[in-house]
Structure 1
Amino acid sequence: MAAVCVLLVLILLHKTDLCSSVAVSSTDAVLITVDQSGKGDYRRIQEAINAVASNNSELVYISIKPGIYREKIVVPADKPFITLSGTEGSNTTITWNDGGDIFDSPTFSVMASDFVARYLTIRNDFGTTGKGIALRVSADRAAFYGCQILSYQDTLLDDFGRHYYYNCYIEGATDFICGNAASLFESCQLHSLAKNLGTITAQHRNSPSENTGFTFLGCKITGLDGGTTLGRPWGPFSRVIYAHTYMSSAISPDGWQDWDDPRKERTVYYGEYKCYGPGADRSKRVRWSRELSRDESLPFLNKAMIGGRSWLRPTPVHFKKHVK
């Protein structure tokens, strides 16, 4: 019976994904350029986003010329199918310095579905004295390629929806990937700035019926020796998987925290599968984390966990000019 229910959910998700993509061509897009020198359609990124029609139903590709853009960006919920692309993650930077509330402080907030970001640095310069979110993703079907996401505490608020991060660099010290999304991080680097008591993830799954969690596949963890754990439970059924991931000596021997609530040790799902490096030694891991078998790890080792085959789209190859 449980298997039938899971199958029905997957079918419904698949139908939803198909409905979301029929309105757009995967190879054609409206091209908008952002250039601080004035040679593009707009000088500021938010101006380009504002120019997209509400209830948009076609792909919009916003090409951002290199530079440091001091802006607080919001992609509103009524503007799906937008791609924001720099040329290299290291030379196209969006930065702000707000702190405090996790929903108000982000430098960059994605509220629209079917969003893509490529080759951008997204940074919050708030500092080390509190929460300063660089990127908030509160929408379904969002993908990030070759991006750098930088802050100190709560760097990436991976709030809800299905998300894919590929070849991204994510930096922070405390709970620097947090939220209740269903997300696959593939070939990403996670860099801890913590000298001690650092935590990479704070996943917020609240019940076993929620199909959410963070999977890190083929990633690399770096940072100062011994000061960081792999995660702690924001929600009682927090779920985080690391597979085929290099763990440097930045990872503490115990590996995981219970956030001073031993009751959560019985309900969290924290797993490791074929990880390697000095921080992957499980001989001193907390007893309530799991060394996964091949069969246990299989559901987390591909894009099926986020339904990605039906909504991840290629970069457009044909463009038409934006008309102001």
Structure 2
Amino acid sequence: MKSKFIKTTQCILATIVVACTSPTLESDAAMPESNTKTSVSTQKMAGYNLVVDINGTGDYKTIQQAFTAVTANNTAETKIFIKNGRYKEKLVLPKDKINVTIVGESKDGVIITYNDYASKLNSAGTAIGTSGSASFVITGSNFKASSVTFENSSGNVGQAVAVRVDGDKAIFNNCNFLGFQDTLYTRTDTSRQYYYKCYIAGATDFIFGASTAVFDQCQIFAKKGGTYITAASTSQTSKFGYVFLNCNLRTDSGKATYYLGRPWGNYAKTVFINCDMANHIKPEGWHNWSKPEAESTTFYGEYKSTGLGGNMSSRVKWSHPLSDAQAKEYTVSKIFNGWVPVL
């Protein structure tokens, strides 16, 4: 199934039983003419408030400088254009920097990267921990990113987060998330996050946390050397956790090497709907993290999984094959309690 963007925010896909609420697509801002001599800041690109260029032709050379320049608690959108380059920065978007949008010149050309990892020691000799390892921490609400690569380049050294999202109503459109263990940390249970046509790669627990997140038409790439794709820690009071809609699950690992998920928290909720799964998915599908008590409190579900790893007949007995009626409840609007993302 492919999402279809129309001027209204509601669409019902009649060819399948799942009804969906699609985001509204905004027109892309005009791209700049190439100009090596004139500063972009003096010939401002239409539609953007700030321009970042590591080579010095923009308003700022670093992304953090641009974030610092954003007016605190600004109710209007601040739109930042980032020119191609490898930006080695440990970024933080503070809680009072809201309604910030970053747009990359190209998805593979704009790379935000850092190489911290959980066991790395700080100046006091204490490990920085998983939360502290993130290359980019987003605490401001209403953040958007389009056509950007986010990376933790540490490799196979344990927990090493590329992006940690704490703020509510975060949107990622056509972005890459690259790492190994713990690539994407959807941290807080009050956060709603929407990922559209993104590529997310990693190994053990590389999508994890307590947030409510929808992954729409994304490619989820499981690297060789890992075992679990998701590790949700959904709160007991949250109706939804992770929802994967029309995603492709791919790998460079071997046959039957990966579980779809395991419960970091005992109320983990993860559902795959209309997803195509390669043969790296184990027949049993899900793992209880050696916590039998979690089997009765988690909600792991699938609907119309396809591919060599999509056979649901041998899934663990405590998982949930969704009925048509249940699947219809997984619309974007319902999952996000009325919020419909606008790309």
Instruction: Sort the TM-score into its range (normalised by shorter chain).
Output: 0.7 to 0.9
Quick check: 1:30–1:59 contact (8 Å CA) kept in 2? no
Q: C-alpha displacement at 1:309, in angstroms?
A: 4.4
Quick check: 2:79–2:101 contact (8 Å CA) kept in 1? yes
Q: C-alpha displacement at 1:29, in angstroms?
A: 6.1
| Pairing 1:136–2:164 present | yes
Percentage identity across paired residues of the two chains = 37
Q: C-alpha displacement at 1:268, in angstroms?
A: 0.7
| Pairing 1:57–2:71 present | no
Partner of 1:33: 51
Inter-partner Cα distance in structure 2 for 1:159 and 1:40: 33
Q: Partner letter of residue 66 of structure 2? A: A
TM-score of the pair, normalised by structure 1: 0.85
| Pairing 1:267–2:297 present | yes
After superposition, the C-alpha distances for 1:111-161 in whole angstroms (9 at most, x for unaligned) are: 000000111100001111210000000011100000000111110001120
Q: Secondary structure at the match of 2:267?
A: coil
Q: Partner letter of residue 204 of structure 1? A: S
Q: Alignment partner for residue 179 of structure 2, among 151, 155, 162?
A: 151
Partner of 1:304: 334
Partner of 1:73: 91
Map 1:1-324; keep pairs closer than 5 Å. Answer: 31-100=49-118, 101-160=129-188, 161-195=191-225, 198-207=227-236, 209-223=237-251, 224=253, 225-307=255-337, 309-310=339-340, 312-314=341-343
Quick check: 1:155–1:171 contact (8 Å CA) kept in 2? yes
Greater strand content? 1
Q: What value does the CA root-mean-square deviation take over the aligned residues? A: 1.6
* 296-305 or 263-272: bigger deviation: 296-305
Inter-partner Cα distance in structure 2 for 1:301 and 1:248: 25
Quick check: 1:29–1:58 contact (8 Å CA) kept in 2? no
Q: C-alpha displacement at 1:299, in angstroms?
A: 1.7
Q: C-alpha displacement at 1:308, in angstroms?
A: 5.8
Inter-partner Cα distance in structure 2 for 1:127 and 1:133: 10
Quick check: 1:243–1:301 contact (8 Å CA) kept in 2? no
Greater helix content? 1
Q: Partner letter of residue 90 of structure 1? A: D
Inter-partner Cα distance in structure 1 for 2:339 and 2:133: 32
Q: C-alpha displacement at 1:217, in angstroms?
A: 0.1
After superposition, the C-alpha distances for 1:203-227 in whole angstroms (9 at most, x for unaligned) are: 00231x2234000000000112221
Inter-partner Cα distance in structure 1 for 2:294 and 2:224: 24
Q: C-alpha displacement at 1:300, in angstroms?
A: 1.5
Inter-partner Cα distance in structure 2 for 1:202 and 1:249: 20
Inter-partner Cα distance in structure 1 for 2:47 and 2:338: 21
Inter-partner Cα distance in structure 1 for 2:95 and 2:329: 30
Inter-partner Cα distance in structure 1 for 2:171 and 2:204: 23
Inter-partner Cα distance in structure 1 for 2:270 and 2:288: 13
Inter-partner Cα distance in structure 2 for 1:297 and 1:272: 9
Quick check: 2:213–2:241 contact (8 Å CA) kept in 1? yes
* 131-140 or 284-293: bigger deviation: 284-293
Q: C-alpha displacement at 1:57, in angstroms?
A: 1.9
Quick check: 1:102–1:157 contact (8 Å CA) kept in 2? no
Inter-partner Cα distance in structure 2 for 1:211 and 1:103: 25
Partner of 2:35: none
Q: Partner letter of residue 113 of structure 1? A: S
Inter-partner Cα distance in structure 1 for 2:87 and 2:338: 31
Q: C-alpha displacement at 1:30, in angstroms?
A: 5.3
TM-score of the pair, normalised by structure 2: 0.80
Q: Secondary structure at the match of 1:175?
A: coil
Quick check: 1:194–1:228 contact (8 Å CA) kept in 2? no
Q: Partner letter of residue 86 of structure 1? A: G
Quick check: 1:272–1:291 contact (8 Å CA) kept in 2? yes
Inter-partner Cα distance in structure 2 for 1:56 and 1:221: 38
